[in-house]
Chains A and B, each alone.
Chain A
Amino acid sequence: MTDNQLPIISLRGLTKSFGDKPVLRGIDLEVQPGHVLGYIGPNGAGKTTTVKILIGMLPEFEGSATVCGHDVAREPLEVKRRIGYVPESAALYDTLTPLEYLRFVGQLYGLDPQEVERRAREMLGLFDLTAELDRRMSTFSKGMRQKVLITAGMIHNPDVLFLDEPLSGLDANSVVTVKEIIARLARRGKTIFYCSHVMDVVERVCDRIVIINNGEIIADGSFEQLREMNKAASLERLFTQLTSSGGHEAVADRFIEAFEVESSAHG
C-alpha cells in the first residue's frame, strides 16, 4: 500500500447540477489502490451523485472523472467492467430467486453461467442463504436482500467496489463478516469507496475519510489526522462540528417541549 502509485480513482473539478440546483460544486479527489475511502456527508450533500457519476450511471457532468485509468464519460463500459456497485436502494427484480438474479448479473459481465452459479452458491451460502437460493426475493427481509446485493456487487471480482450504506438491515454477525471482507479486499489491493451515515463503522473500517457538505469537500484525511486537526474525540463529533451550525442540545430541548408543553391555543 504505497501512496505513490497512480490513483485508481481521480476526480477533477467535478460539477453537477440538477436543473438549476447545484449538487456538486467542484470535487477534487484522488484515491490510491488498496484504500478504503469513507465518503460521508449530511443528507443531500451529493454522496450518491458522486458515486453515480463514478460508476457511469450519470454520463452528463462537468470536470473529469477517471476510474481504473479510464475516463468515465468516454469509456463507461471499460469502467463498468472493473467496478462493483452495491446501491443504497434495495433495487432487485423481486420475482426472481437470488440464484436467477445472480446468474443474470454474472452473464452481463460475460462470466460463464456455471462459474457464476458456483460462486453464487458459495457466497450466498456463507451468508446463510442456502435454504433461500430458490425462493423468490419478494418474500425476503431487508437484510436478506442486502446480502444478495452485496454478492451481486462482488461476484465478478471487481478492482474497485462502490458501497452505498452496505450494512443497512444486516444482522450483527453479517456486519462483522462484511467488515472483514472489506478489510481483506483492501489488503489484496482492491479499492473500496464507502458511503455511509454510520460514523463508528466508517471510523473503524476506512483508512481515509472524506467529508462533503453542500457539494464540496470540507475535510480529507485519516481519522487520526482529522481528529488532530479538529480536536474531536469521535468521528460523530467531528462530523457535526463540520457540517452543522451546532446547537443540537437546543434542538433536542425544543423537540421535547413540542410534546410536553400543552399549547394554550389548542386548550
Chain B
Amino acid sequence: MVRLSLWLLDGLRPLFRLLGVDYGQLRATIQVKLTLDGRRRSGHMQGIEGKDRNVFVWTLFFYAFMGVFVGMVGVHTASPLVGLTIVHAFVMVMVGLSLIADFSSVLLDPTDNVILLPRPIDSRTLLVARVTHVTLYLGSLALSISAATLIAGAIVIGWWFVPVFLGTLACSVALVVFFVHVFYLLAMRLMDVERFRDVILYVQMVMTVVVVGAYQILPRLMDYKQLLSLQIDDRWWVYICPPAWMAAPVHLLAGHPSQAAVILTVLAVAVPVLGLTAVVGVLAPGFQRALAQAELNPVQRNEASVQPGRPRSWGYRLSRWVTGHPAERAAFELIWQIASRDRPFKMRTYPTVAFLLLFGCLFLLGDSREVAKTLAQLPETQKFLFLLYFACMMGPTAIFQQKFTTQPEAAWLYYALPLEYPGQVLLGAFKVMAIRFVALGFAAMAILALVIWRAAILGDVLFAACATLLVSALQAWLFARKFPFSEAFGMAQSSGRLGRSVLWMIFPAVLAGFHFVLRWIHPCTVVGAAPLVFILAVLMLRGYGQLTWPALLRASR
C-alpha cells in the first residue's frame, strides 16, 4: 500500500516540483503518514483485536465487500439515476464518516505540530503533503467501495461508464471534503477542543453502527421492487440531494436526456469545484489557524476542569444507595467518573447498546417485506423472550470491558493500597458497569418489548432483569478478576476465551428455557421466581466482593 502510493507519487514528481514543493520532504512526510495510517486502528475497528498490521488494507477489503451489495443495488434499478444516487450516497456517507472518525485523530493530533513545526519544512510543502495524504486516503476508500459498481457498470452500461463514473466519484469526494471542512470549522467555532473530541466520538459511534447496520439493511433493500422501478428525476428534492447530482451525468449519457439531468450534471461539477476552491482558499487556512489557536492556548482550556461548587454528580448520589463497603464505594465513584470521561472506553462500550437495539429490531422484523403486518402480529407471539434474553446474552459482555484502558499503568494504585478484600474494588466496578451498560442495554430492549407487548409482560421483564443480573454476576465472578482499567486495549486474551463464549451462550439460553417453562405452567409463576434469581445473584456478588488477594493474583497469572 505504502509502496504503491509512493510509486504513484514518484510518477507525479514533476507536478509537485512545479507546485514549488520540496519533493524529498513531501515524500518523507507522506511515507511516514501512510505508515502511521497502516498501523493505526480505524474508528469502527478499534474494537477488533488481533494483529494490527495492514489494518488499512483490511479496511479496504471490507469496504469493497460492502461495495458489492451497494453495486448490485446500483445497477439493478431501472434508471441509473436512482441506482447511482444510492451508490454515491453510500460513498459520501462512508467517506465523510471516515474523514471525521479516523482522520480527526490525525488532524487533531498535537504530536504532529510538535514534530513538524521545528523542522525546516515550509508551509506550502506541508499543505500539499496534507492534501495529498487526504486524497490518497479518501481516494482508496472511495475506489474500494465503488469497485464493484465500476465493474458492473462497465458491463451493464458500457465502457464509457468507467471514466464518467470515476469523474463523478472524484466530485463526490471533493464535495465531502468541503462539507467536512465546514463541519470542522463550525464545530471549532462553537465549542472547545475537548467538546469537539466528544462530538467526534459520537460520530465514530454512529459510524460503527452504520457500518454494521449497512451490512444487515442493504441486502434487504435489494428486494424492494418499488425501489427498482422508481423514477426520481421529476422530484423537487433531487436538486438538494448531492448524490443525485453525481448520478446525473451517467443518467444523461445513458440516454435519458431531460432538463433535470442537465441541471443536476452542472451542479455535480460546479459545486465541488467551488467547494474545493473555498477549502483551499478560506476553509483550510482558517481551520489550521483555529487549531493552532486551540492548541497554543492552554490557558483558556477550562473545559477539562470540574467546577468545585457544582452539585455532586449522579455517580456520587448513586454510590450512597448501591454500595456498602468504603473501598467498594470509592471504586464505584472512581470507575463511574472514568467511565463517563474516558473516550476509548466509551467507544468500546456504547455501540454495543446501539447494536442491541439494531439487531433487536431486525430480529423482530425478520426478513419479512410487510413490516406493518408483522408488527401487528407480534403481540400474539412470544418473541419478546428472544428480545429480553438477547440482551441478557449481549449486555453482560460489558462487564468484561471494565479492565481495559489506554493507561493501564495507573492501576499500580490498587496494589499500593492496604485493601483487605480487593474484591470490593471489583464489586464497585461491577456495579458501575451493571448500571451504566448492562442495565442500559437491557432497558433498551425491555422498552422495545413493552411498547409492543404492553403491560402483559411486566412480570417477564422483571424475571429477565433478574436473570440478566445473575448472568452478569456469574460472568464477573468467573472471569472479571482483574482490577478495573488495568490492562491495555487489544491485549490478546486467548486462554479461557472458548469457555467464556460457550458459557455466554448456554447460560442465558438455560435461563430463557426455564423462563419459558415457568410461563407454560402459569404466566404468574415468573413473578414469584424472580426474587429467587435475584437472591442468587446477590449471593454471588457477595462472594465476588469477598475475593481475596490470592484469588486475584491467581487470576492475573
For window 72-125 of A, CB contacts with B under 8 Å fall at 77-78, 80-81, 83, 85, 87, 89, 91-93, 95-96, 100, 103-105, 107-110
Tell me if A18 counts as interface (CB < 8 A to partner B). yes
Q: What are 12 A-B pairs with beta-carbon distances under 8 A? A: A19-B300, A21-B299, A56-B117, A80-B121, A81-B120, A92-B111, A92-B115, A95-B39, A107-B24, A108-B29, A108-B120, A110-B22
Q: Does B59 lie at the interface of the complex (its beta carbon under 8 Å from any beta carbon of A)?
A: no
A104 to B297, CA, bound (A): 28
Give every chain B residue within 8 A of A108 (Cβ-Cβ). 25, 28-29, 116, 119-121
Contact between A19 and B297 (Cβ–Cβ < 8 Å)?
yes
Going nearest first, the 6 A-B pairs with the smallest beta carbon separation are: A107-B28, A91-B114, A80-B120, A95-B39, A81-B120, A85-B118
List, in ascending order, chain A residues with CB within 8 A of B40's CB. Answer: 95
A-B contact count (CB 8 A): 74
Given A18-B296, A92-B111, A95-B40, A107 contacting B122 (CB threshold 8 A): no
Q: Cβ of A55 < 8 Å from any Cβ of B?
A: yes
Find chain B residues with CB under 8 A from A136 CB.
Answer: 39
- Taking the complex as formed, is A57 at the interface, i.e. its CB lies under 8 A from any CB of chain B? yes
Complex CA distance for A132 and B283, rounded to whole angstroms: 42
Within 8 A of A (CB), among B100-123: 110-111, 113-122
If A19-B299, A21-B299, A110-B25 touch, whether A96 touches B35 (CB-CB below 8 Å) is yes
Kindly state whether residue A58 has any CB partner on chain B within 8 Å. Answer: yes
B120 touches A109 (CB 8 A): yes
Contact with A along B29-57 (1 / 0, CB 8 A): 10110011001100000000000000000
A91 adjacent to B119 (CB under 8 Å): no
Residue of A nearest to B38 (CB): A95
Residues in A with CB closer than 8 Å to B28 are 103-104, 107-108
Residue-wise, chain A 225-246 has the 8 Å CB interface mask toward B (1 for contact) of 0000000000000000000000
- Beyond A55-B117, A57-B113, A108-B120, 13 additional contacts (C-beta under 8 Å) are A57-B118, A77-B122, A78-B120, A85-B118, A93-B36, A93-B115, A95-B35, A95-B36, A95-B40, A96-B35, A96-B36, A105-B115, A107-B25
Residues on A with C-beta less than 8 A from B115 are 91-93, 105
Chain B interface main SS type: helix
CA distance A19 to B297 in the complex (A): 8
**Could you tell me which B residues sit within 8 Å of A by CB distance?**
22, 24-25, 27-29, 31-32, 35-36, 39-40, 110-111, 113-122, 296-297, 299-300
Which residues of A line the B interface, CB within 8 A?
18-19, 21, 55-58, 77-78, 80-81, 83, 85, 87, 89, 91-93, 95-96, 100, 103-105, 107-110, 136
Partner of A80, one of B111, B113, B118: B118
Query: In the complex, A21→B119 CA distance in Å?
Result: 28
Q: How far is the CB of B181 from chain A (nearest CB, A)?
A: 23
Task: Say yes or no: B120 contacts A77, CB within 8 Å.
Answer: yes
* A103-B119 Cα distance, complex, nearest whole Å: 13
Q: Which residue of B lies closest to A108 (CB)?
A: B119
Complex CA gap A58/B120 in Å reads 14
Bound: A105/B119 CA distance, A: 8
Q: Is the CB of B114 within 8 A of A89?
A: yes
Residues of B contacting A87 in the complex (Cβ-Cβ under 8 angstroms): 114, 118
- Given the complex of chains A and B, what is the CA–CA distance between A140 and B296 in angstroms? 27
Q: Please give me the residue from chain A that is nearest to B300 by CB atom.
A: A19
For B117, list chain A residues within 8 Å (CB).
Answer: 55-57
With A18-B296, A57-B117, A91-B115 already in contact, the answer to whether A110 and B36 are too (CB < 8 A) is no
Q: How far is the CB of B323 from chain A (nearest CB, A)?
A: 20
CA distance A56 to B119 in the complex (A): 9
Contact in complex: B300, A18 (CB < 8 Å): yes
Task: Enumerate chain A residues within 8 angstroms of B36, measured Cβ to Cβ.
Answer: 93, 95-96
- The interface centre, meaning the residue of A78, A81, A107, A136 with most chain B CB atoms within 10 A of its CB, is A107
Select which of A96, A100, A109 is within 8 A of B119 by beta carbon.
Answer: A109
A96 x B118 contact (CB < 8 A): no
Asked if A18 and B31 make an inter-chain contact with CB atoms under 8 angstroms apart, the answer reads: no
Min C-beta distance of B174 to chain A, whole Å: 29
Contacts of A96 in B (CB 8 A): 32, 35-36
Task: Provide the bound-state CA to CA distance between A217 and B121, in Å.
Answer: 32
Q: How far apart sit A83 and B119, CA to CA, in the bound complex (Å)?
A: 9
Q: Which of B113, B118, B120 gathers the greatest number of chain A CB atoms within 10 Å? A: B118
A42 → chain B, closest Cβ, in Å? 16
> In the assembled complex, how far is the CB of residue B20 from the closest CB belonging to chain A, in whole angstroms?
13
Cα distance, A107 to B27, chains bound together (Å): 9
User: A69 CB to closest chain B CB, in angstroms?
Assistant: 15
Report the minimum CB–CB distance from B133 to chain A (whole Å).
14
Min CB distance B145 to A, Å, is 26
How many angstroms from the CA of A32 to the CA of B32 in the assembled complex?
37
A205 to nearest B CB, angstroms?
Answer: 22
Task: Collect the chain B residues with CB atoms within 8 Å of residue A110's CB.
Answer: 22, 24-25, 120
**B119, A18: Cβ atoms closer than 8 Å:** no
Minimum CB–CB distance from B23 to chain A (whole Å) comes to 11
CA distance A110 to B299 in the complex (A): 36
Residues of A within 8 A of B22 (CB): 110
**Does B122 lie within 8 Å of A93, measured CB to CB?**
no
Nearest to B488 among chain A residues (CB) is A138
- A-chain residues with CB within 8 Å of residue B299 when the two chains form the complex: 18-19, 21
Report whether A93 and B114 are in contact in the complex, using a CB–CB cutoff of 8 Å.
Answer: no
B111 nearest in chain A by CB position: A91
Chain B residues closer than 8 Å to A77, beta-carbon distance: 120-122
How far apart are B519's CB and chain A's nearest CB, in angstroms? 53
* Chain A residues, CB < 8 A from B32: 93, 96, 100, 104
Most chain A C-beta atoms within 10 Å of own C-beta, residue among B28, B40, B122, B296:
B28
B125 nearest CB neighbor, chain A only: A108
CA distance A91 to B31 in the complex (A): 19
For the complex, give the distance between the alpha carbons of A83 and B118 in Å.
9
Q: Which residue of B lies closest to A51 (CB)?
A: B118
Complex alpha-carbon distance, A107 and B22, angstroms:
11
Q: Give CA–CA (A96, B111) in the complex, Å.
A: 13
* Alpha-carbon gap, A18 to B295, bound state (A): 11
Whole-angstrom CA separation of A110 from B39 in the bound complex: 26
Complex contacts, B297 vs chain A, CB 8 Å: 18-19
Q: A residues within 8 A CB of B35? A: 95-96, 100
Q: Which residues of chain A have C-beta atoms less than 8 A from B114's C-beta?
A: 87, 89, 91
A58 to chain B: closest residue by CB: B296
Nearest opposing residue in chain A for B52, CB measure: A95
A154 to chain B, nearest CB (A): 13
CB distance from B469 to the nearest CB of A (A): 36
A110 to B24 alpha-carbon distance, docked (Å) = 7
Nearest-Cβ distance from residue B289 to partner chain A, whole angstroms: 10
Q: A19-B297, A95-B39 are in contact. Are A104 and B31 (CB under 8 A)?
A: yes
